[in-house]
Amino acid sequence: MPTAYAGWVFAHQGGWDEMLYAAVPIGLIFSLLRLANSRAKKQVKSQAVTEAESDSPTPQEH
């Protein structure tokens, strides 16, 4: 006689649970790539400002 394990079964709940197996990693990778991209853009901007400041002539005292 088959026994029902409703508390243990997580798979095949109409497909929504299988979708999580794909959606969660994709969402995590997307979020990490966005975070890395925004940090890289900030770093490029700060380097450009630093280079612009170092390239500008400084007033010399007389």
What pLDDT, in 10s, does the model give residues 12-52?
677 887 888 899 999 999 999 999 999 999 999 998 888 88
Note whether residue 61 is domain-resident: no
Task: For 31, list phi and psi in degrees, rounded to 5.
Answer: -65, -45
Residue 1: predicted pLDDT: 53
State residue 38's pLDDT score: 96
The residue segments making up the domain with residue 19 are 5-55
* SS3 state at 29: helix
Torsion angle, alpha carbons of 14, 19, 24, 25, to 10: 140
CA-to-CA distance for 8 and 45, rounded, in angstroms? 52
Is the residue at 42 inside a domain? yes
Q: How many domains does the chain have?
A: 1
Task: Tell me the whole-structure pTM to 2 decimals.
Answer: 0.59
